[in-house]
Structure 1
Amino acid sequence: MNILLKSAKIVIPENKELHLKKRDILIKNGFIEKVASSINATSKTQIVNLKNLHVSLGWFDSSVSFGEPGFEERETISNGLAVASKSGFTDILLNPNTNPVPDTSSDIVFLKERSSGESTNLYPIGTLTQKSEGKDLAELFDMHNAGAVAFYDFKKQLTNPNLLKIALLYAQNFEGLVMSYPQDKHLKGRGIVHEGPISTKLGLKGIPAMAEELQVARDLFILEYTGGKLHVPTISTSGSVKLIADAKKKGLDVSCSVAIHNLMVTDESLQEFDTNFKVMPPLRGKSDCKALIKGLLNGTIDFVTSDHIPIDIEDKRVEFDNAMEGSIGLESAFGSLVPIFGMEQTISFLTAGRERFGLEKPGLKTGEKACLTLFDPEKDWEFSEDDIISTSKNSMFLGANLKGKVYGVVNNDQLTI
């Protein structure tokens, strides 16, 4: 397949030669053939000439959930990857949030085969323990060999500290990355929202920031003892930022991410009892948002994630206490980040993180595989249900004014717009 991107403004902050320059980009059979000021197309070339077209390296998301296998009513792998590509993401990590969970090498092989041939690449995360029950380690080495990029009991606390110690020691044999969810379930108790004035006012059971920070502190203490590689997904408090900053100063091999909604949406949004705002970790206060943004900008937080979690209508349109946690976020990710961080910083965030999971970062040189995202960073628009192609519609950004619209991607010798 031959594709010619016409008059595309290239956004690659690390490449001073091409950054913010308008160029034509010719792609042949999935590889970059030429980048020049003007390129003439042959008759067999598909020309892409879109309004205010901007191009960056393909975007990466480290925390995406679908449903298949087991919860296909929430999202299938095929449609989920179509959502990701339409949202600008060429590479996503799939959380072990299925039924059954992927805790063997054959499960990892199934997910990779089920996602082959799509324009967005899917990389499975295997569970850390068998059936995500927190009792015995899963087949980490076999899953690693089958293609698992990390190991994680999705949104579940690893209550046994010795199990984390053993996992960190064992995974060093093959450079495996261990993930640990930052929440102490005993301190969380029956809490469903951030503990503070809003939870008291609304009469909702609160989750103290300490529930997250105590778990982060414990895990970092174990990491200092064992060595190895630890990733802390979706932190949400100012205290967690400080703990991880201190750990990095010590030289510990730790990384962390933050969900996009935790950067900009506070617990004040809960006052209408809209279950789309019920997420884990919970929406926190303004001071936490400020600390998370500062941590992201100074490099303490390594990358952002949509933390995309489709939930079917039967589990969302119920009483707030009974609703499942989660919000979809792929379709709104770019448009919600640009108003806060601007285009260039947003692109830096969305293209970061691959190396941590052992994935190769794409480039924009002749002969390299074309892995590109196409977008218009200046379009103002209101996010509505018509903009959602996810099977589930549980987005906390419905009705929000966003800036920046995604056209699609060029990846795996496919154009998706």
Structure 2
Amino acid sequence: MNIILQQVLIADSNSPYNGIRKDILIKDGVIAKIDDAITDESAQLFTSDDIIVSPGWIDIFSHACDPGYEYRETIASLAAAAAAGGFTQVFTLPDTNPVVDNKTQAEYVKQKSANTKINVHPLGAVSKKREGAALAEMYDMKQSGAMAFTDGLQPVQNAGLFLKALQYVKAFDGVVIQLPQDKSINASGLMNEGIVSTRMGLQGIPAIAEELLIARDIELLRYTQSRLHITGITTKKSVELIKAARAEGLNISCSVTPYHLFFCDEDLKNYDTNLKVNPPLRSKSDMMALREAVMNGDIDCIASHHLPQDWDSKTCEFEYAKPGMIGLQTAYSAVQTVLPQLTPLQIASLFSINAGKIFGLQTTIKEGEKASLTLFTKNEFVFAKEKNKSKSFNTPFFDVALKGIVVGVVSKGSLILNN
């Protein structure tokens, strides 16, 4: 099917049409023409005021829960939620049952997602069964479609093993993704360690648990000269450590979650289990430092850390609740709300362009290029429960007025619009 997007504002630093309103003609999933006015009677016509179009957004850290935990999410429901949130490509974590630590499991994700509206890519485990004892079959998984390698919410604690992983991926220019948390430092903590945790009587996880692992991994990166992405950073010092490493010339990048920009530990005063996340919400000063880092370009990407949990896992005492929240459908709106000064080009960079460069999935809005596009506006958005595409409902954003609407995506040759 042919598609014409009429008078959309293009936000793409790699496109000659960046910052210009144009018509875009898409034929068989490829951008056939970009011009001031295009007519094609056979085409599906899309026209709307104030629409911005960027290269399709990429989420690099989502839990699909499939196989093994399909009652929380499936690859099909994840893809539906991702498309509604503006993502045309999503990386799924290996923390399934069985773990994605071999080519068979990587191929399962690719085959299961073949008919979804967007592209779903597996992340392979760094270690077998994510146990941190022996390297997984990373080369085989790479050949079977794994985009990068991570042990997800079980970050590699063994320095020797992590060193081997960084060395191993150099053979095929791979990337290792690490969630920064030293599990030997109060892993049983329930929230950020600080004044608020003391006041609430909850065990805390200190910021040093994050910063120590980042410092260690930077040393290992310096030694190996490999490629490392730190996701879910939460503190000012973490930003400074990564910024200094990058200035030194190391191949390091980082991402932050929308909820670490939106909330801080002070928001936990009502013991809302939807705000129990890992890494935890930090202090207000750290939250503001993260916002500043996003604005000045020290943070490369926004990563949703979409983590579905069933009703029983959240409707209980804070101490027993499992961490995480769903976040694909609210990622853009949450970020645009707390940082309304972000330009369309900055949004395109944070949600698509930078991740594309890091993981080799770069798409651009030019004639002859594959049409992987996200359509969005800065208008107000309310996330109603009945609009939720995920199988789980663990989010604090229901019925909250946010700024920023995802209108739809162009993916796999189709225009998918939100109702």
- Please state which band the TM-score falls in when normalised by the shorter chain: over 0.9
Residue 412 (str. 1) matches residue 416 (str. 2): no
Give the aligned residue type for 1:356. I
Equivalent residue, structure 2, for 1:387: 387
Deviates more, 1:383-392 or 1:135-144: 383-392
Equivalent residue, structure 2, for 1:146: 144
Q: CA RMSD in A?
A: 1.5
Q: How does 1:345-364 map to 2 (within 5 A)?
A: 345-351=346-352, 352-359=354-361, 361-364=362-365
Displacement of 1:51: 4.2
Displacement of 1:316: 1.2
Q: How many residues align?
A: 413
List gaps (5 residues or longer) in structure 1: none
Q: How does 1:194-343 map to 2 (within 5 A)?
A: 194-339=192-337, 340=339, 341-343=341-343
Q: Residues 261 and 288 of structure 2 are in contact (CA less than 8 Å); yes or no, is this contact kept in structure 1?
A: yes
Q: Distance in 1 between matches of 2:356 and 2:381?
A: 30
SS in 2 for 1:155: coil
Give the aligned residue type for 1:415. L
Q: Distance in 2 between matches of 1:268 and 1:49?
A: 43
Moved over 4 A (4+): none
Equivalent residue, structure 2, for 1:33: 32
Q: For 2:99, which of 95, 98, 101 is the aligned residue?
A: 101
Displacement of 1:299: 3.2
SS in 1 for 2:185: helix
Residue 86 (str. 1) matches residue 88 (str. 2): no
Give the aligned residue type for 2:333. G
Displacement of 1:79: 1.5
Q: Distance in 1 between matches of 2:203 and 2:405?
A: 38
Q: Residues 7 and 23 of structure 1 are in contact (CA less than 8 Å); yes or no, is this contact kept in structure 2?
A: yes
List gaps (5 residues or longer) in structure 2: none
Q: Distance in 1 between matches of 2:158 and 2:170?
A: 19
* TM superposition score normalised by structure 1: 0.95
Give the aligned residue type for 1:411. S
Equivalent residue, structure 2, for 1:23: 22
> Cα gap change, 1:358/1:11 in structure 2, threshold over 3 Å: closer, same or farther?
closer
Q: Distance in 2 between matches of 1:342 and 1:244?
A: 22
Give the aligned residue type for 1:229. R
Q: Distance in 2 between matches of 1:56 and 1:174?
A: 29
Q: Distance in 1 between matches of 2:356 and 2:19?
A: 23
SS in 2 for 1:103: coil
* TM superposition score normalised by structure 2: 0.95
Residue 12 (str. 1) matches residue 12 (str. 2): yes
Displacement of 1:374: 1.4
User: How big is each residue's C-alpha offset from its partner over 1:134-175, in whole Å with a ceiling of 9 and x where there is no partner?
Assistant: 111100111111111111111113221111111112221221
Q: Distance in 2 between matches of 1:253 and 1:20?
A: 30
Give the aligned residue type for 1:364. I
Displacement of 1:363: 1.6
Displacement of 1:227: 2.0
Give the aligned residue type for 2:389. I
Give the aligned residue type for 2:40. A
Deviates more, 1:278-287 or 1:163-172: 163-172
Q: Distance in 1 between matches of 2:281 and 2:335?
A: 17
Displacement of 1:14: 4.8
